Structure 1
C-alpha cells in the first residue's frame, strides 16, 4: 500500500490536571504529509501511519482536528482523555479536537485514519446536528461491530463502506475531489453519531495516575535530546520506578523505557524524512554523541540504517 511521505462520556473532576500545553500537538500536514498542509481532510491507511509513528502511539493531540480511527482486527487499547477502552476489532474511535489520546495496536490491525478540521464539524452542527439531544461530538466515542444490535448491522456496514469510499476518492485524482470527500465525511459523522448510543463502556483512569503520566510525558518532551536515564525522570517526578512502570503499563500498555525510546525514534524518523540534515548532523542535533551509536540505535529499532530509511521515504 502506498505511503504518503512527500519530500467525553466521563469527565474528570480533578481541577489539578494540567493544561494540554505539555502534550505534543501533531499536525499531520506539517509532521507527516506536507502535500496536504492546509487540507481540511486527510486520509491514510493505519498501516502507513504505524510505519512512521509506531504501533504504540504515545499520548498526543490534534489541536484543531477531529480524528477517526477504524481498526479491522486485533486487540486495541485506546486512551481518550481520562477514559481507557480495551476492545477487539473491528472497532472505531472518534476523538474530538484537542483531546489527548494514545493507543496500542497489534501488528496486523490494519484500517483507516481520517483527520478532519473542526470547521467542517461546526458546519455540520450548524446544519442541524446540534439539535439532536443524544448526539455529542465533544466526547470520545468507541464503537465495535460485536456491540451492535442486529438491526444496527446495516448502519455499521454503511460506516465501513463510507470509509472505503473515502479511501478510494482520496487515492483518485478526480474533479471536485474535496467536495466529494466533504460529503462522505458528513455522512460518516452522522452514521457514527446515530450509533453512539451503542458505544463501548470505558474504564476511568485514576486521576493521580493520569497526572503522573502527563508529568512523565511532559518531562520526556523537555529532556528528550538530553537522553535522560529513567532514574532522572523518576527523581524529577517524585515517584518510584516501580510505580511509574505500573502507571505506564496501565495507561499506555508500554514500559517507561519503551515510551522514551519510541518518542526519540519518532523524532529521528521525522527529521530523516523532512530535513535536509545529514545523518551525522541529525545524530548530534538529537543528543547522540556518537553517529555510529545513532546508526546502531536506529537499525535496532527499525531493521534498517538511517540512510536506507531516508532513501525509502524519498521514493514515496
Structure 2
C-alpha cells in the first residue's frame, strides 16, 4: 500500500469500538426491499464522497462506476476504480470508498437469500462470488443492471418476481467476470453458510465445534466431515480460521489494542490469542497490523 493510499485509508478511520455493520451504509433499519438499487450521488455527497469502513452481514453488493473514479478497499485489498469498472463485494467483507467528487454510478445490494437461490445450483457461481473482485462489464450486464434499477422503481404486478429474476441475471453475469474464482470442487453445502452465520453471531462467546454442531442438530463428527469436504479442515480448525479472519479485520479497520481484540473474540489471555493468530496467519497480530500503519 503506497503512502498516498495509506493517508487516505486512515483518513477514513475514526477510532471505532467495532466495525459498523449496516443494512445499508449508515442505516440500521430492516433492509428496505427484495433487492436495493441506488446511485452513488444519492448517498456519497452527504458523506463528503468518503464512505468509511463498514460491512453488511447479510448483503452482497455490486458497485459500477459510470463516470469518475474511486479508491476502494475490501478486506485489506486496494482497488482503483475508473470509468466502466465494477467491484463485487461479498457479505461480511469490510469495505470503504473515497469517490472523486461528482462520480456517477450505481450500487445494487443483494440479500444472501438472492445469491443462494440462483439456479441451477452451481458451485462455480458460489465460488466466483465468494471474494471481492473487479472487472469491466460488457454492455449486456450494464443493460441488465439498468433493467433491475427500472424494475425496482415500478409498482406493477409481480414486481418482486421480476426483480429477483433480473437480480439472478446480474449476479450470474457478474460472476462470469471473475477470472480467478476460489478453488474447485462440488457446490458448497448450505449448512456451511449457516455455520458461517452462527460463527458471526457467537464470536466472543467461546463456542466450540460441539456447540455449533448442537445448534445445527448435527454431531460434532458430522460437522467436521462437512468442513473437511468443503474446506479441507476440521470444524475446529475452520472455526478458528474464521475467528482469525475477523481479528484481521479488526486489526486493519479499528485502532483497538491487540489485547482488546483478543478479549472481544473470546481469548482471555492476550499471549494465547497472539499464538493462535500466528499459527493460522503466519505472523503475530502486531506484525500483521504494521502493514496498515507503516
Q: TM-score, normalised by structure 2?
A: 0.54
Does 2:122 align with 1:129? yes
Q: 1:29 to 1:88 in 2, by over 3 A?
A: closer
Q: 1:73 to 1:210 in 2, by over 3 A?
A: same
Q: 1:87 to 1:183 in 2, by over 3 A?
A: same
Does 2:19 align with 1:23? yes
Q: Deviation at 1:214?
A: 2.1
More helix by share: 1
Does 2:30 align with 1:47? no
**Residues matched between the structures, number:** 184
**Greater alpha carbon shift after TM alignment, 67-76 vs 134-143:** 134-143
Q: CA RMSD in A?
A: 3.5
Determine the structure 2 residue equivalent to 1:9: none
Residue in structure 1 matching 2:150, options 168, 171, 178: 168
1:103-150: CA deviations, max 9, x gaps? Answer: 1111121111111110111111x63222x38952110121136xxxxx
Residue in structure 2 matching 1:179, options 143, 148, 161: 161
1:39-91: CA deviations, max 9, x gaps? Answer: 33111111102134441111100011111111112232111112111131211
Instruction: Pick 1 or 2: higher relative contact order, CA cutoff 8 A, min separation 6.
Output: 1
Determine the structure 1 residue equivalent to 2:254: 215
Q: 1:214 to 1:184 in 2, by over 3 A?
A: same
Q: Structure 1: which 5+ residue stretches go unaligned?
A: 1-20, 146-155, 200-207, 220-238, 251-316
Q: Deviation at 1:25?
A: 0.5
Q: TM-score, normalised by structure 1?
A: 0.51
Instruction: Note if contact 1:64-1:117 (Cα within 8 Å) is conserved in structure 2.
Output: yes
Determine the structure 2 residue equivalent to 1:142: 134
Residue in structure 1 matching 2:112, options 99, 115, 118: 118
Q: 1:54 to 1:66 in 2, by over 3 A?
A: farther
